[in-house]
Amino acid sequence: MRNFFYPGRSVTYGLNGAIATSSAHASQVGLGILKGGGNAMDAAIAACAVQCVVDPMQTGIGGDCFALIAPKGSSQIEGLNGSGRAPSALTADLLLDQGISEIELTSPHAVTVPGAIDAWVTLHAKYGSMDFADILAPAIEAAENGFAVTQRTSMDWKLTEEKLSNNAAAASLFLKNGKAPGAGTVWKLPKLAQTLKAIAKQGRAAFYEGELAEKMVATLNAAGATHQLEDFGNCEADFVDLINTDFHGHDVHQIPPNGQGITALIMLNILKGFDVAGLDPVGAKRLHLQAEAARLAYLARDIYVADMGQADVPVDMLLSKEFADHLRSHIEVGKAGDPAGAGAFDKHKDTVYLSVVDKDGTAVSFINSLFHPFGSGIACPDTGVIFQNRGAGFVVEKGHRNCVAPNKRPMHTIIPGMVTKGDKATHCYGVMGGGYQPVGHAHVLSNIMDYGMDVQEAIECPRAFYNAGVLELEETIAPEVQQELADMGYTIKAPEMPHGGGQMIMIDHENGVLAAGTESRKDGHALAY
């Protein structure tokens, strides 16, 4: 329970519906749809579309989307992988012949085909109840008539000025006189509004076929990419069989590889072999065990996680008790492990995650991302679309499971989460933050199941991230704890910004109550009715 003597947020409770996003505007739009008779999927798509406008560095229609759905709150979770693929002409040999051994974050070769719009249309066709044009209407209105930039968004936008300045189209869309808008500034995206209008009217075809697709392909080709119109036309989201593990009597569900959700499950399997509940939740011993679990799980991720349609990924082995025991045996309690091969990316990523539950109990865990802030930094001037840089998740190493190849999906960081117990969904959740996400998932679930925190406490709890040999500690972690961790052998660093951003809705089936929490590290709100 929250201590009201300290700053913080209260849990948001409701009986008929709830939504939690990292944008106040998106949450308001989603709640309005729920109260107006729309369902959880209608609200999720509408809220996400709004965030593609008002948080343009965090997400966009030039990115990807994953979702988990619990129909009517059941434990029969369904999942969609809406990640795009490499263009059909992109090969490792082509890159190596050009002297490229690593796909840089702003390289045109980092641009995979945007999967978000196809994912939205696919999800709407199966689960939606409203007209698709009505769902996109709030986003169109915000792009066309303007929105007020919020505080955290303005900070993130400011950090991208140099990146945006390197692309004339991106600078014209997202900067004014070379500067990002400050908090409270009204900003418009008229080109994006026109593209969204076309999608609202013509559906998927407006984005992946015809004039808009031709303009996007032309932009990418001019930048040096190998995309063809057929690459856009062939984009297709997939419903997938989920992976899961047991954690303290609950089943934790994730999208299978190419997503990195399996990394969170490996972490949980390692951690449940320790008496975490007996440790101080913000003490050195707990953070040490979490760091060691992350070190080993991320090593496994970087060796094994890839597109299962083009690579052999031994999922059963990775989720086995024997593998967790093996990894746990390489943890020396009280001592930092060898960071060699930790393999976590050394820069943070941007994403939006949202959670929605409607009056029928259907829960939607929904995540949409450009990967890094403003993705590749390459924008199409005629459509207002800025392209993701997911292809930087590939390696250029022939024989590696995750080596770049035609029509292949890269190792992907965005991971929606869902927890069930018995025949019911209990927690619809996610934690944004690129490479941090598996740690965030494990941290938040452990906060609830090991320490009995409510959803808001679990999200607000101070965070640490073992990242490429460095333990990044938020400044809310006590100095004496930081020193104790340093004494264990960790290289301690303060992150530039707080770690990630989470949303969660807990479903209390017995009492018929929804409990929603949102991220104090972002601009978001949890709303319910």
Per-position DSSP letters for 160-171, written without gaps between them: THHHHHTSHHHH
Per-residue pLDDT of 492-509, as tens digits, reads 999 988 998 899 999 999
E strands of 100-256, at which residues? 147-148, 186-187, 238-240, 243-247, 250-254
DSSP for residue 452: -
Backbone φ and ψ of 197, nearest 5°: -60, -40
**Is 348 a residue whose pLDDT tops 80?**
no
Distances from the Cα of 293 to the Cα of 244, 250, 296, 323, 488, angstroms: 18, 20, 5, 12, 15
Structural domain contains residue 48: yes
Backbone φ and ψ of 436, nearest 5°: -70, -20
Q: Is the dihedral of CA 423, 263, 524, 49 positive or negative?
A: negative
**Is 290 a residue whose pLDDT tops 90?**
yes
pLDDT value of residue 352: 86
| Orientation of helix 284-304 relative to helix 261-271, angle to 10° | 140
How far is residue 142 CA from its own chain's centroid? 23
**Is 485 a residue whose pLDDT tops 50?**
yes
253: amino acid identity, one letter? H
pLDDT value of residue 346: 36
E strands of 71-135, at which residues? 78-82
Q: Rounded to whole angstroms, how far apart are CA atoms 12 and 342?
A: 38
347-351, 355-359, 403-407: least confidently modelled range: 347-351
**Is 253 a residue whose pLDDT tops 70?**
yes
Q: Please state whether beta strands 513-517 and 464-467 pair in parallel, antiparallel, or not at all (unpaired).
A: unpaired
Structural domain contains residue 503: no
Q: What is the mean pLDDT of residues 200-227?
A: 98
Structural domain contains residue 61: yes
Per-residue pLDDT of 62-110, as tens digits, reads 999 999 999 999 999 999 999 999 999 999 999 999 999 999 999 999 9
Q: Where in the sequence is the domain holding 158, given as residue range(s)?
A: 12-84+113-232+353-391
Backbone φ and ψ of 514, nearest 5°: -105, 135
- Is-contact 166 205, C-beta < 8 A? no
pLDDT bracket for residue 350 (50, 70, 90): low
Write out the H or E segment, with its range, that includes residue 281: none
Per-residue pLDDT of 8-18, as tens digits, reads 889 999 999 99
* Residue found by looking up tokens 């890159």 in the block: 95
- Is-contact 231 53, C-beta < 8 A? no
Q: Rounded to whole angstroms, how far apart are CA atoms 353 and 48?
A: 8
DSSP for residue 395: B
Structural domain contains residue 41: yes
Q: Which residues pair with 351 in a beta bridge?
A: 369
**Is 4 a residue whose pLDDT tops 90?**
no
Closest CA to 114 of 195, 19, 18: 195
Structural domain contains residue 213: yes
Structural domain contains residue 490: no
- Is-contact 116 82, C-beta < 8 A? yes
Q: Which residues pair with 64 in a beta bridge?
A: 369
Structural domain tally of the chain? 1
Q: Rounded to whole angstroms, how far apart are CA atoms 371 and 348?
A: 9
Q: Rounded to whole angstroms, how far apart are CA atoms 257 and 507?
A: 27
**Is 380 a residue whose pLDDT tops 80?**
yes
Q: Rounded to whole angstroms, how far apart are CA atoms 341 and 469?
A: 9
Structural domain contains residue 255: no
**Is 467 a residue whose pLDDT tops 50?**
yes
Q: What is the mean pLDDT of residues 140-146?
A: 98
In this prediction the pTM is 0.95
The verdict on whether 351 is a catalytic residue reads yes
DSSP string, 232-267: HHT---EEE--EEEEETTEEEEEPPTTBTHHHHHHH
pLDDT value of residue 339: 82
pLDDT bracket for residue 520 (50, 70, 90): confident
User: What would the two tokens of residue 481 be?
Assistant: 């704890």
Q: What is the mean pLDDT of residues 23-52?
A: 97
* Residue found by looking up tokens 């968004």 in the block: 153
Closest CA to 361 of 45, 66, 34: 34
Average pLDDT, the chain: 95
Q: Rounded to whole angstroms, how far apart are CA atoms 407 and 87?
A: 6
Q: Rounded to whole angstroms, how far apart are CA atoms 406 and 495?
A: 36
- Alpha helices (runs of H) in 415-501, residue ranges in sequence order: 437-449, 455-460, 479-487
Percentage of the chain modeled with pLDDT above 70: 98
Structural domain contains residue 139: yes
Q: Rounded to whole angstroms, how far apart are CA atoms 519 and 420?
A: 22
Q: Rounded to whole angstroms, how far apart are CA atoms 167 and 222?
A: 12
pLDDT value of residue 370: 95
From 153, 351, 362, 426, the catalytic residue: 351
pLDDT value of residue 351: 77
**Is 274 a residue whose pLDDT tops 60?**
yes
- Is-contact 174 180, C-beta < 8 A? yes
Distances from the Cα of 105 to the Cα of 169, 233, 390, 474, angstroms: 18, 25, 8, 26
User: What would the two tokens of residue 314 be?
Assistant: 């031994």
